[in-house]
Structure 1
Amino acid sequence: MPGLIGRKIGMTQIFDDDGRAVGVTVLEVGPCPVVQIKTAEHDGYDAVQLGFDRVKERNVRKPGAGHAARAGLDHVPRVLAEFDLGGEDLELGQELTVEMFDVGSRVNVTGATKGRGFQGVVKRHGFAGGRGSHGGSSVLRGPGSIGAGTDPSRVIKGRKMAGRMGGTQRMAMSRKVIGIDADRNLLLVRGSVPGGRNNIVMVRPGR
């Protein structure tokens, strides 16, 4: 099966059969209509394009409306994403729901991490910082030396320095499905997943 598009609702905890508290992330996953099916003969590769959520009527543009109409949809999806077809026999307009997953199975969740802006080396890389006494006030959160002098007379590539932190795509692998609420399209997975609340995520079968 290909996967689904979803939204991160937040985190909570539930109690398992042994009475232990388990931290879980609540995801609103699907329903995701099939918007386009790509084939090797026509597009050069096999894939399925799924949609999620919907664009408000006043914000609909003609190209998006035409693309959705060709799939027989009565709305324009707000998010589009491609998944590996995986040999599945799907049809345009078909809806994929959270019921494609099973409790106890494993999933991989991909999303963008929280953006932290421009940060120093202490927060970005966990540097300890400089000394706090003997005139060390100017080096408390500084990176220190970043390279040799005469040789090689440059900063080596890959040096850990201050810079933009977060806002990158990451995958939380092999998260266990703890619960499924098909009526509300909710998927409960054990542990954390990338991003903050309302972050768009891609949920694929894992192992």
Structure 2
Amino acid sequence: MRPTLDSSRSGGRPRDDSRDGAIRRATLQLLAEVGYDGVTMDRVATRAKAGKATIYRRWPSKVALVMDAITTITEQSVPIPDTGSFRMDMLAFISSFRDAIGDDRGRIIAELVSEMPRNSELREALRNGLLAQRKTASDVIVHRGIVRGEISAEVDHTVLMELGPALVLQRVLLSGEVVDAAFMERIVDDLIVPYAVHGLADQPTR
């Protein structure tokens, strides 16, 4: 739930949703340019051409503002696919994830993740916001696959849904190697689907 001003409150100033968008955009721009530590309410207010009091009426802290801005772009960029096939849902899910972190958003997420060990408030907000949102989407995909009889009901949901994003993050944020359609198909066909069907214990050993 986003902490915003209740415009129905008696005596409150009517809420201007257009200002919310400008403030979120300014926050994201600053995250990409100067990192989490460089984002301040003063800088956001200046970039968004908004009063600092206006920002604090909607978001009580920098963490609340940053997480709201991040959640907004995630909601817009990573829909839950429903293709009728677990394999195709996973390809669509990983492709959307790749697209979501392939520009400034990737740098922003990397900055937030690097800040997590030093900032318990941000760490908790990320877990309850961005990561919880991704888990909700992944649980839907896995449940549909189980109902259709495509994958095992005993599969570890968390491991299953971490495989693809972890490998994509490795390439996008660290190694810089290409994350193309062929790579994502290999992730799904060689790792995710076999694990979803059989689990790690049944995989052949070398």
Which of structures 1 and 2 has the larger relative contact order (alpha carbons within 8 angstroms, sep 6+)? 1
TM-score range, shorter chain: under 0.3
> TM-score, normalization: structure 2?
0.21
Q: Determine which structure has more spread, i.e. the larger CA radius of gyration.
A: 1
> TM-score, normalization: structure 1?
0.21
